[in-house]
Structure 1
Amino acid sequence: MGLEIERKFLVDPEKWNAFAKPEGTPYQQGYLVNEKGKTIRVRIAGSKAFITIKGATTGFTRKEYEYEIPLQDGHELLESFALQGTVKTRYRIPVAGKVFEVDEFKGENEGLIVAEIELKSESDLFEKPDFLAEEVTHDPRYYNSNLATSPFSFWKK
């Protein structure tokens, strides 16, 4: 069984802008199914495409199955079947033997920067880089699937 154990944090924009980043990868993703407790997502990440099936989250953990698919299929699935989606640039930042994936959202989610770290267990310890701000692991508004339907720019400030 595939499992994703993930923690999610907002990123301080000033500290992130001052941080020396590697080159990012453009992501485009859309949802074929986007229901409470289950999503089926198609993602184009640079020159690769993936289909991902995710279940409900309990704690920091949920079932996840991800498979690479042909790039052309990914484009066709997004164009023909995706209900909603998001666009972002992802940066992979190594920190003390682990990797934070930092997403700078574009489009209707412009201005939102979120960092995620995948762990081996919910009790895994990790070092937090200086650019991390508030933890939002348990706030469903920050799930990519929810950002596709309720974009950050629509939230009341």
Structure 2
Amino acid sequence: MRVEIERRFLATPEVLKHCRAGVCIRQGYLHTDDRNTLRVRRAGERGFLTWKGKKQGSSRAEFEREISPETADFLLSLISPERCLEKTRYGVEHAGLTWDVDVFEGPLTGLILAEVELQQEDQPVPVPGWVTREVTQDKRYRNSRLVGRKSLPRSRAA
């Protein structure tokens, strides 16, 4: 089982000028609690089933398997729309790292999150000028918490 180490940031629309070919993603949550998240995702022509464990710092255990697009579509059809979200993901290079930039749709339109996967928790991250603040530890910005929202999370003082 792999360990995912990532940091997540709010991004400004300025990042969009660096975004080229994106992948449309629809994902739904089969189960979420304080220790486990089970998600199904359709990303372009690919499907995935992913389990994620409890977050500890910037890390969490992750188990992901590719499934057929048909299976992903079937599982997504079983999940209520309030437990699903849609976004377009772009890969943006900055200072030798590839950032996943997610541009959300629907009720989350206007939200742009940028995350970067790391090899170790204490790895230095050169922060691009198009990010505003880090939200790695802010649970409100986890995809599993964003589903079902009717509006964007309200900003907190940094």
Mark the CA change 1:71 to 1:155 in structure 2 (over 3 Å): closer, same or farther: same
- 1:112 match: 111
* Structure 2 gap segments, 5+ residues each: none
8 A Cα contact 1:40 1:51, kept in partner: yes
- 1:89 match: 88
Q: CA deviation at 1:126?
A: 2.5
In structure 1, give the amino acid aligned to 2:96. Answer: G
Q: CA deviation at 1:91?
A: 0.4
C-alpha separation between the residues in 1 aligned to 2:73 and 2:117?
A: 27
TM-score for both structures, normalised by structure 2: 0.91
Name the stretch that deviates more: 33-42 or 133-142.
Answer: 33-42
- Residue-by-residue CA offset, 1:59-85 (whole Å, 9 max, x unaligned): 100011111000100000000246711
- 2:129 match: 130
- 1:39 match: 37
The percentage of aligned residue pairs carrying the same residue is: 39
Q: CA deviation at 1:23?
A: 1.2
- 2:5 match: 5
C-alpha separation between the residues in 2 aligned to 1:91 and 1:73?
A: 24
- 2:22 match: 24
In structure 1, give the amino acid aligned to 2:125. Answer: F
* 1:136-147 to 2 correspondences below 5 Å: 136-147=135-146
3-state DSSP class of the match of 1:153? Answer: coil
C-alpha separation between the residues in 1 aligned to 2:25 and 2:95?
A: 25
C-alpha separation between the residues in 1 aligned to 2:133 and 2:150?
A: 16
CA RMSD of aligned residues (A): 1.6
Q: CA deviation at 1:97?
A: 2.4
Mark the CA change 1:49 to 1:29 in structure 2 (over 3 Å): closer, same or farther: same
Q: CA deviation at 1:96?
A: 2.6
Q: CA deviation at 1:156?
A: 4.8
- 1:68 match: 66
C-alpha separation between the residues in 2 aligned to 1:54 and 1:30?
A: 14
Aligned residues: 154
Whether 2:109 is the aligned partner of 1:102: answer no
3-state DSSP class of the match of 1:114? Answer: strand
Mark the CA change 1:144 to 1:16 in structure 2 (over 3 Å): closer, same or farther: same
